[in-house]
Amino acid sequence: MPKVLIADKMSNRAVEVFKARGVDVDVITGLSKDELMKIIGEYDGLAVRSSTRPDAEIIGQATNLKVIGRAGIGVDNVDIKSATDRGVVVMNTPFGNAITTAEHAIAMLFAAARQIPKASERTQNGEWPKSDYKGTELFNKTLGVIGCGNIGALVAERALGLKMKVIAFDPYLTEERARKIGVEKVELDTLFQRADAITLHTPLVESTKNIVNRERLGMTRKGLILVNCARGGLVDEEALKDALDAGHVSAAALDVFSIEPAKEHALFGTPGFIATPHLGASTNEAQENVAVQVAEQMADYLLTGA
Ligand code: MLT
């Protein structure tokens, strides 16, 4: 019977699926790298979210490992090259949390446009700061979507429902698909020049690192709203801080940071800045979906090689 280690917190549905399929499963979360290296040799499969980072050393000790399953989308916490070199398949669940993440991006867009977190905090402090918060209406505004794959398209669909205009930059987006979604495909610089709000939905790779940089922020309209629920490292955080301080960017809502957990940050406390702790995929529905999907995929692979 193949044996899987679940090394990060995930819905118990994953355990149920593994057991129902005849896969032996241990749930041991919060392991240090050394602890994981000591036991990984016992397992055929390793299921993770984002806390566990299977790197070359861990994979090097994983003498029986056949598959690493990421209950989520981004596989940037897994050393794919080392895994591939040792014949370990890496799989993710690209669809399970997409709607939840798209909804978080829309929530962040509204929160930024109306400065809801700060207004709420001050109201609850007894200030009643009614005249301090004149927000921005999203109706008829242009949303620039960077990365119009699975999540980006869901965000675009929702923004169109809000009667926003949506422009998108994505080298993989065909004109036909753009028409189908109802977005206008544009070049990256055009997106920065035309958007009233920008939302990021691209993975972090060499070509997208600091895609929102000082130069591009300088091209944007005054009053820009920026939302990032994709990956830290897509935004030059220092340049964003300067743009917020200068009032050029009116609001920015980040769910992800270049270093996580971000317990201290130069952006914290900056007027117009909103932060959440990488909550994009954190709903009951999404966590159940990704747990079930990763367990089904891993079990299929371990039991049938498919
Ligand atoms: C993902 O890549 O799926 C997300 O970042 C979700 C997460 O694990 O928090």
Which of 6, 9, 10, 50 to probe ligand 1 with, by most ligand atoms within 8 A of CB? 50
For residues 207 and 89, state if they share a domain: no
For residues 89 and 110, state if they share a domain: no
For residues 202 and 112, state if they share a domain: yes
Q: Is 272 in the pocket of ligand 1 (CB under 6 A)?
A: no
Q: Residue 208's pLDDT is what?
A: 98
For residues 135 and 261, state if they share a domain: yes
Residue 275 in tokens: 């932060």
In this structure, the number of other CB atoms found within 10 A of the CB of residue 265 comes to 16
Q: Is 185 in the pocket of ligand 1 (CB under 6 A)?
A: no
Q: Residue 114's pLDDT is what?
A: 98
Q: If you measure from the C-alpha of residue 67 to the centroid of ligand 1, how many angstroms do you get, rounded to a whole number?
A: 19
If pLDDT is split at 50, 70 and 90, which confidence band does 182 have? Answer: very high
Cross-strand pairs, 224: 249
**CATH number of the domain encompassing residue 57:** 3.40.50.720
* 279 Cα nearest atom in ligand 1: 9
> ipTM value of the model?
0.92
Q: If you measure from the C-alpha of residue 71 to the centroid of ligand 1, how many angstroms do you get, rounded to a whole number?
A: 8
Q: Residue 264's pLDDT is what?
A: 98
CA distance 191 to 146: 8
Residue whose Cα lies nearest atom 9 of ligand 1: it is 281
CA distance 267 to 276: 12
Q: Residue 305's pLDDT is what?
A: 79
For residues 211 and 122, state if they share a domain: yes
Which of 52, 73, 75, 154 to probe ligand 1 with, by most ligand atoms within 8 A of CB? 73
For residues 122 and 176, state if they share a domain: yes
Please count the structural domains in the chain.
2
The predicted model gives 145-159 an average pLDDT of 98
Catalytic residues: 231, 260, 278
Which phi and psi angles does 299 have, rounded to 5°? -65, -45
Which of 49, 204, 276 to probe ligand 1 with, by most ligand atoms within 8 A of CB? 49
For residues 119 and 228, state if they share a domain: yes
Range of the domain at 19: 3-93+284-304
Place of tokens 């940037």: 76
Judge contact between 256 and 230, C-beta under 8 A. yes
Q: Is 73 in the pocket of ligand 1 (CB under 6 A)?
A: yes
Q: Is 96 in the pocket of ligand 1 (CB under 6 A)?
A: no
For residues 223 and 263, state if they share a domain: yes
For the chain, percent of residues with pLDDT exceeding 90? 99
Q: If you measure from the C-alpha of residue 173 to the centroid of ligand 1, how many angstroms do you get, rounded to a whole number?
A: 23
Judge contact between 209 and 234, C-beta under 8 A. yes
Q: If you measure from the C-alpha of residue 169 to the centroid of ligand 1, how many angstroms do you get, rounded to a whole number?
A: 22
Q: If you measure from the C-alpha of residue 96 to the centroid of ligand 1, how many angstroms do you get, rounded to a whole number?
A: 10
For residues 119 and 208, state if they share a domain: yes
CA distance 233 to 229: 11
3-state secondary structure the chain: CCEEEECCCCCCHHHHHHHHHCCEEEECCCCCHHHHHHHHHHCCEEEECCCCCCCHHHHHHCCCCCEEEECCCCCCCCCHHHHHHCCCEEECCCCCCHHHHHHHHHHHHHHHHHCHHHHHHHHHCCCCCHHHCCCCCCCCCEEEEECCCHHHHHHHHHHHHCCCEEEEECCCCCHHHHHHHCCEECCHHHHHHHCCEEEECCCCCHHHCCCECHHHHHHCCCCEEEEECCCCCCECHHHHHHHHHCCCEEEEEECCCCCCCCCCCCCCCCCCEEECCCCCCCCHHHHHHHHHHHHHHHHHHHHHCC
The predicted model gives 108-130 an average pLDDT of 98
For residues 20 and 108, state if they share a domain: no
For residues 234 and 137, state if they share a domain: yes
Inform me whether the pLDDT recorded for 306 exceeds 80. Answer: no
